[in-house]
Chains A and B, each alone.
Chain A
């Protein structure tokens, strides 16, 4: 049968993808309408998927997953003390929304964002909403998210809210409900972009034909808005650091928008002005897009136990020198009980109804509301009035009355009667379903929609997309990713072709150049260590390879050269008796750890090369045997290390960041070579030590060529210490170090060299005028220590 006929066969029969798609009773479905027909906006997608067939689809979806793995997209899942990195769970079939429906959502959320701004401005301003009886005082006075130090502080940008997310669900009547407002530090916008990229990897042809609205325009607008409120043009993203569940996304967004990724310790408040500690000294910053909860931002005036904050940030906010996006204290809007008051607040403040209703909520501080919740106890989701998460996601704090054992039911009812103000009841939502691809077929799963809104100069804009979260089962509460839910891309489709937007500058647009001096000191420090650990790994691997090669030839492990090499390795923390020594694995882990703290400055390829190295080394450690086997394993690791170095060397822009990485490598290589030369050329070194040295120093060929007739200890010292042209000599490292140090901020100013550059130049000059026969073992050892001292000088100049 030829391909054309196959298609026809499929078309004649029931479409196999949706043949068994069974709608849940009483619940609307995104793909299938009430009459059982595929909705028109979905039809092109479904027929295209249908045509591709199971096998092709499997391959395409695998490509999407491969992309996510390659890009290193992960989130942290908390199931123990330390969260584990998990692959991003992409649901491959996008959610299709018609443009007209999107317009309804856009209008509703714009209204809501403006309303929220008015409310929060009142709470931190004149507090008339409480006086007018529109908000009960205890929801503010007893609320941990009410940050008293922020009362009376007007945001420097003029606005409290700049970026919000909303969780929407479609109810049984087909209309959208707002399940929750995210105003504290909404996460996930970067994941939405990665979702889009991954999904279009799989479905690029279909995507191209379906007139899907692009996301880049939204980000461009927001980026320009933030740059616009930055009085000095500098915008940073404030992250809690790599242990946060969405750190990947912080690094991703920083890279995507060209903002600096900062942690609390990168900042210092100087005379009321927030400054970034950079390699060029303190530099002012005026906008922080905050991805950490407000109370952690300042240990002095907010949470005293915060270790990730910056003392004095609150002071800077009082003085109006910095804009926080969003303002500190806006988290109070996420309070679940607020949903109960939104309809009234909207009417009172705007004279209109909410365009998108809030999920039906009753605050039990009111007598009538409390009674309603008690009367409908069995079908209500009852939780803390002050909870900020979604009720359907809150596994511990929110319960459905009917699901409780009798004793607990009684106890909860009693608490409702006694201290109703601490509780809210929410209607149990029946969410609409959307198709998920499971084992070659589509199945309906409950879903919620996360939508983002950003303030621009022209008012609020809503991202045409976002992501849909779909449940792992048909139970609505299994939507949370921590519980196995997945995320799908959202395609807002138009009937007409859509505008293509990118974040690249368009013609005539002013090109903004980032200055290389703005590298935060912490990032520079991590780059140096990354360079050092990578180089240290290489040194270890080279010696281990030489050792194991000899071990394979010599059966007697007591032979002098083997014992001597073991002793040397022992001195650098490597136990050569183990084929993959723990010391080596630790050095690789350290390299990965350093890299993980600067993901925003690091290409995904480099990261992938590094994590691949770690994976390989770990798997080797399970099975590799000493001798030949280990020799081969070391060769593989060496190749992978070279791959990493090559990627970095060839692809990293020569910014200050690259220089620090390079400095780290040169420092470590210089130290390692000096010590190994000193060891192998020392008096009493066993036979074969010099050969081993050449092999480790990758200089066998050169040595043979240059010193064919006059080989002796001096020739080894000459080649590996003094030779200016051998890329593995100590002098070569020092010359390179000097070059880099001179290029760093403050390296050479008005003819004056920095301390570190001076020290490097001094060493270089010394080596230039020294003859090999004068390089005694102790002098070579001394040289290694001097290079180590350079590292201290660099740290003093750039990292304090």
Chain B
């Protein structure tokens, strides 16, 4: 599947800012056998005085920008052409939870992709008893880790309401869990917290999702959104598999990956440090267009 992705982030500062610095993580990465970035360009307005790009610990592309002079707005523009492979639905070869724990005990690796990084609390995801209890009913019996993850994914979709106004970008999973509401980020955080509580390694995926307009309606420009879902380590043989609790499905050819992390904080689209007396307003628009 070949896509053209366009993202625009726009920030208006009420009072002008200066001496600010930002980390931007919006450019998709190439993933062997799954996703290939054919072209990608990232630009900023006003033009930053300093700009560098590097790969972070988890292999995500990060661009640092810094401004010395004053400015009252910041535009981030990404356009990328990405080839996403349509992978066959995985056959469940994952171990049981007990088997998984044994595999983990003998997995002597802390490479960035090692599941060892994805087992405990992370900056935005505490391990909460109530979420673990909720997840536990997906692990009843002796089913596979894959089956547990899929069951939890479907239950979150069933039990939670998608509600843009219920949570904010810094809402934690405990609060979202209590509300049973939120957006993709909240659903992903809750699912990750639940899986880790059970001892199943789980991480956060940031990306884009192609939305298919209702029959007979035209596709609306900029109506797509950034998206987030979950990846789960299903044992040595199956490796990482991706689940989308917002849409009750496995991530598939419509999911375009920006990058991976333990939670939102590892792969948030933009973080910045600035001094200002006023607040700011933000706008975002995303277009995912299938090329072929």
B265 contacts the other chain (Cβ, under 8 Å)?
Answer: yes
What separation, in Å, do the CA atoms of A149 and B23 have in the docked complex? 13
How far, in angstroms, from A137 to B107 measured CA to CA in the complex? 8
List the B side residues contacting A581 at CB < 8 Å: none
CB distance from A329 to the nearest CB of B (A): 12
Let me know if A269 and B66 touch, CB within 8 A: yes
Q: Assign chain B's interface to a size class.
A: 20 to 34
A271-B50 contact in complex given A137-B109, A141-B114, C-beta closer than 8 Å: yes
A466 interface contact, C-beta 8 A: no
User: Which residues on the A side are within 8 Å of B50 (C-beta)?
Assistant: 270-272
Digitize B70-113: 1 where CB-to-A-CB distance is under 8 Å, 0 elsewhere.
Answer: 00000000000000000000000000000000000001111110
**B110 to A312, Cβ gap below 8 A?**
no
Name the residue among A140, A141, A148, A272 with the largest chain B CB count within 10 angstroms: A141
- In the complex, how many angstroms separate the beta carbon of B244 from the nearest chain A beta carbon? 26
Structural contact, B111 and A149, CB atoms closer than 8 A:
no
B167 at the interface (CB under 8 A from A): no
Interfacial chain A residues near B54, Cβ < 8 Å: 318
Q: Name the interface residues of B33-78: CB closer than 8 Å to any CB of A.
A: 50, 52, 54, 56-58, 64, 66, 68
Tell me if A127 and B111 are in contact (CB < 8 A): yes
In the complex, whether B179 has a CB less than 8 A from a CB of chain A is no
Checking B23, B58, B66, B68 against A301 with a beta-carbon cut-off of 8 angstroms, the contacting residue is B23
Closest to B266 in A: A148
Partner of A133 from the list B108, B116, B117, B272 (CB cut-off 8 Å) is B108
Minimum distance in angstroms from B22 CB to a CB of chain A: 8
- In which size bucket is the chain A interface? 20 to 34
Q: How far does the Cβ of B201 sit from chain A's closest Cβ, in whole Å?
A: 10
- Beta-carbon contacts of A223-245 to B below 8 Å, as 1s and 0s? 00000000000000000000000
Please indicate the chain B residues that have their CB under 8 angstroms from the CB of A138 in the complex: 116, 119-120
Report B165 CB to chain A, min CB distance, Å. Answer: 24
CB atoms of B57 and A304 under 8 A apart: no
A400 at the binding interface (Cβ < 8 Å): no
- Closest A residue to B274 by beta carbon equals A311
Query: Would A312 and B21 be within 8 Å (CB), given that A149-B56, A300-B273 are in contact?
Result: yes
A506 within 8 A of B: no
Q: A137-B114, A272-B52, A312-B66 are in contact. Are A300 and B119 (CB under 8 A)?
A: no
B271 in the interface, Cβ–Cβ < 8 Å? yes
Is A142 in the interface zone, CB < 8 Å from B? yes
Q: Report the Cα distance A315→B53, complex, angstroms.
A: 10
Q: Mark A84-111, 1 if CB is under 8 A from B, else 0.
A: 0000000000000000000000000000
What are the residues of chain A within 8 A of B107 when measuring CB–CB?
A: 137
Contacts of A269 in B (CB 8 A): 21, 66
Bound-state Cα–Cα, A138 to B111, Å: 12
Residues of A contacting B23 in the complex (Cβ-Cβ under 8 angstroms): 300-301
Interface contact A127-B52, CB-CB below 8 Å: no
A231 vs B169: C-alpha distance when bound (angstroms):
43
Using Cβ atoms and an 8 Å threshold, which residues of chain A touch B109?
127, 130-131, 137
Are A148 and B271 also in contact (CB < 8 A) when A131-B109, A137-B108, A311-B21 are? no
> B260 to nearest A CB, angstroms?
12
Q: How far is the CB of B15 from chain A (nearest CB, A)?
A: 16
Minimal Cβ-Cβ distance residue in B for A139: B110
**CB within 8 Å of B: which of A509-530?**
none
B52:A149 contact, CB within 8 angstroms? no
Expressed in whole angstroms, the Cα–Cα distance for A133 and B271 within the complex equals 37
Asked whether, in the complex, the Cβ of B119 is within 8 Å of the Cβ of A142, the reply is yes
**CA A300 to CA B66, docked complex, whole Å:** 12
Chain A contacts of B222 at CB under 8 A? none
- CB-CB under 8 A from B117, the residues of chain A are 141
Interface residues of B in 139-194 (CB under 8 A from A): none
Distance in Å: Cβ of A510 to nearest Cβ of chain B: 36
B56 in contact with A141 (CB, 8 Å): no
Q: A130-B108, A148-B57 are in contact. Are A141 and B21 (CB under 8 A)?
A: no
Cβ of B19 under 8 Å from chain A: yes
Interface residues as binary, A137-163 with B (CB distance below 8 Å gives 1, 0 otherwise)? 110111000001101000000000000
B residues in contact with A127, CB < 8 Å:
109-111
A133-B108 Cα distance, complex, nearest whole Å: 7
**When the two chains form their complex, are residues B265 and A304 in contact, meaning their CB atoms are under 8 A apart?**
yes
Q: Find the B residue at minimum CB distance from A300.
A: B273
A271 to B50, CA, bound (A): 6
Contact A151 B108 (CB under 8 A): no
- Taking the closest CB of chain A, its distance from the CB of B122, in whole angstroms, is 10
- Docked Cα-Cα span, A132 to B116, in Å, equals 16
Asked if A573 is at the interface of the complex by the 8 Å CB criterion, the answer is no
- A151–B112 alpha-carbon span in the complex (Å): 10
Minimum distance in angstroms from B11 CB to a CB of chain A:
16
**How many Å lie between the Cα of A269 and that of B123 in the bound state?**
25
Contact with A along B262-292 (1 / 0, CB 8 A): 0001000001110000000000000000000
Contacting residues, chain B, for A113 (C-beta < 8 A): none
Q: What is the minimal beta-carbon distance from A336 to any residue of chain B, in angstroms?
A: 17
What chain B residues lie within 8 Å of A318 (beta carbons)?
Answer: 54
**Taking the complex as formed, is A268 at the interface, i.e. its CB lies under 8 A from any CB of chain B?**
yes
Alpha-carbon distance between A493 and B142 when the two chains are bound, in angstroms: 69
Shortest CB distance B18–A (Å): 10
Interface: A299 (CB within 8 A): yes
Report B-chain residues with C-beta under 8 Å of the C-beta of A132. Answer: 108
Q: How far is the CB of B281 from chain A (nearest CB, A)?
A: 21
Q: Mark A391-411, 1 if CB is under 8 A from B, else 0.
A: 000000000000000000000
Give the most central of A130, A137, A270, A318: most B CB within 10 Å: A137
Residues 243-282 of chain A, each 1 if its beta carbon lies under 8 Å from chain B, else 0: 0000000000000000000000000111110000000000
Which residues of the partner chain B approach A315 to less than 8 Å between Cβ atoms? Answer: 52, 64
Which residues, 287 to 334 on A, are CB-close (under 8 Å) to B?
Answer: 299-301, 304, 311-312, 315, 318
- A151 engages B57 (CB within 8 Å): yes
Task: Determine which residue in A127, A140, A301, A315 has the highest number of CB atoms from chain B within 10 A of its CB, and name it.
Answer: A315
Cα of A268 to Cα of B21 in the assembled complex, Å: 10
Binding site for A on B (CB under 8 A): 19, 21-23, 50, 52, 54, 56-58, 64, 66, 68, 107-112, 114, 116-117, 119-120, 123, 265, 271-273
Q: A137-B107, A300-B272 are in contact. List 19 more A-B contacts (CB 8 A).
A: A127-B110, A130-B109, A137-B110, A137-B114, A138-B119, A138-B120, A140-B116, A141-B110, A141-B117, A142-B116, A142-B119, A269-B21, A270-B50, A299-B273, A300-B21, A304-B123, A311-B273, A312-B64, A315-B64
- Ordered by A's residue number, 14 sampled pairs between the chains whose C-beta atoms are within 8 Å are A127-B110, A137-B107, A137-B109, A141-B116, A141-B119, A142-B119, A149-B57, A271-B50, A300-B22, A300-B23, A300-B272, A300-B273, A312-B66, A315-B64
Contact surface of A with B, Cβ cutoff 8 Å: 127, 130-133, 136-138, 140-142, 148-149, 151, 268-272, 299-301, 304, 311-312, 315, 318
